[in-house]
Structure formats: C-alpha cells, structure tokens
Amino acid sequence: MAFLLSLGMMLHFASNLRAEDPNTAPPQLKALIGQMDAAGNQKNFEQIKTFYSPKFTNSDGLNYADLEQSLKSLWKRYPDLKYTTQLISWEKQGDNLVAQTETKIEGTGKLQANSAKLQGTIQSRQVFQGHKLVSQEILNEKITLTSGTKPPSIDVKLPESVRPGQEFDFDVILKDPIGNNLFAGAAMNQAVDADSYLNPSPLDLELLQAGGLFKRSKAPTKPENRWLSGVLIGADGITWVTQRLRVEK
C-alpha cells in the first residue's frame, strides 16, 4: 500500500526469484490489493490497519505506529483522494508473496487557499505475509500538484537513479515560451525520511531568467532515496512536481 504513504524501503531478494505474469497471481493476492484500494478510497483507517503487520517497517523511517498520523494528515489535505492499483507482476518468496504494483492517485485540495488538483503515479514492490503487509519499496514516484486557471505546462528531466557521488541534472522546463510573462520558481532536493515526509521543507522562490528551472546537483556519497521538487508560479496558476531519485550502487 505504498500509494497511501508515498514511502520507500530497501528489500533484498534472492537472486533466483522470477517475476510472474499478473494473470497467474493467486486470487487472494488480487483480492487483497483490491480491498486495500477500497479501504483507502473510503478513508477507513480502522480497516486499513488490519492489512498491516504490527512489525511493518520501511527504510524511510515510518512504521506501523506512524500510519494513523500520516494517512489522516494526507486525507485532511486531499479529502477525495482516490487510488487505482494495477498488479504488474508477482513472486513467491518462501511463504511470502511479493507484488509489484503501479498505483494512480488523484484528488483535490487547497494550495494557498485556492483549489488544487493532485495527480501521481507510484510503482512499488510489496511483501505480504499471509494477509498482512510486512514491508514495501517504492521503485518510481511522480506527484504533480496544479492550481489556477492555467497552471504552467512543464516537462521534467531527472534520471530514475544515480550512483553515489555522481552529478546529475534536475530540469523543470516550461513547455510554452516565457515571452513577456513573469514566472517565479524554486527547486528542492531533500532526503526521503520520516522527518521530511511529515514536515516538508519550505521552498525559496526566485524570478526565472529562462524557461524553467535548471539545477545541477551531486548525489550523496551513500545509497539513499531523494525527493526532487520544483514549483513554477505564473500569473494564472501554479505547478508543483516531486519525483523520487534513487541513489544506489
């Protein structure tokens, strides 16, 4: 249920595991994923808790005890948030089932007192023990928040992964010419952990001198996940995008 938390964790799998066609997945696995979607769409936290093992862990620093605070905070900001999950592949690891999924999320909320639309795609790998989720890893993640009558239309250029210490570019490019219009923007690069998830850092805006945000950064020296965020503000709207970057050996 990575789509509910937008979290990541590191799992290590045996080299002989083989991904199976989703059409051959056990019926109970398909049913469980559907039930978790339904509970999330109904904002039924008591039911959601029943799908998680009390020993649930993840490398972002959140655990079973953090679920209620995280989910209720998310639902307060986006009360009509909806989840649609597709099973991509599955594997059997001993008595556990490992599911790779892609989840589409969509909802509306507020951004600076204005109506805003949230859209996202999250690919994750989840490990189930019986009917309980024991761990999960986010593989890819992109979340976009737009507000206004004409939010800036953008392209984002960011690698999915880099090596420790490697330089990389994070570009948030305006699709339309900047012309005589004024745009402000900001970019942020932060570690994915419990503190940054529950207490996001503010962005410092600057006037754009070109058609977007163009940032070169250097990856940390050890493997971890990073959130790269960019916001562009024009006269008629705001676009905010966040993508996950994996730093791995």
Report the C-alpha gap between 234 and 5 in whole angstroms.
30
- Predicted local confidence at residue 19, as pLDDT: 54
Tens of pLDDT, residue by residue, the chain (249 residues): 443 443 322 222 222 334 567 888 999 999 999 999 999 999 999 999 999 999 998 867 778 888 888 888 889 999 999 999 999 999 999 999 999 999 999 999 987 778 999 999 999 999 999 899 999 888 899 999 999 999 999 999 999 999 999 999 999 999 988 888 899 999 999 988 766 655 566 677 888 878 899 999 999 999 999 999 999 999 999 999 999 999 998
Q: How far apart are CA 118 and CA 98, in angstroms?
A: 28
Query: Which residue bears the tokens 């469980």?
Result: 32
Q: What integer pLDDT is reported at residue 3 of this predicted model?
A: 37
Q: Which CATH code, of 1.10.3720.10, 2.40.40.20, 2.60.40.2410, 2.60.40.10, is assigned to 149-247?
A: 2.60.40.2410
Q: Which residue has the tokens 């509306």?
A: 108
**CB proximity list for 12: less than 8 A, separation 6 or greater:** none
- Chain centroid, CA 165 distance in Å: 23
**Alpha-carbon span 178 to 207, nearest angstrom:** 12
Instruction: Write out the two tokens for 153.
Output: 């239309």
Q: What is the pLDDT of residue 5?
A: 42
Which H, E and C letters describe 181-214, residue by residue? CCCEEEEEEEECCHHHHHCCCCCCCEECCCCEEE
pLDDT (0 to 100) of residue 63: 83
The 10s digit of each residue's pLDDT in 211-233 is: 899 999 999 999 999 999 999 99
**What are the angstrom distances between the C-alpha of 173 and each of 138, 152, 208, 237, 241?**
25, 10, 11, 15, 11
Boundaries of every domain in the chain: 2-141, 149-247
Q: Are the C-beta atoms of residues 68 and 75 closer than 8 Å to each other? A: no
Report the distance separating Cα 206 and Cα 183, nearest Å: 9
Cβ atoms of residues 100 and 124 within 8 Å: yes
The candidate with the shortest Cα–Cα distance to 40, out of 91, 90, 6, is 6
Place of tokens 């808790």: 49
Tell me if 2-141 shares its fold with 149-247: no
DSSP code of residue 66:
G
Domain 2-141: assigned CATH number: 3.10.450.50
CA–CA dist 152, 231 (Å, integer): 10
- Contact by Cβ (8 Å): 170, 157: yes
Task: Give residue 9's pLDDT.
Answer: 28
d(CA 128, CA 27): 14
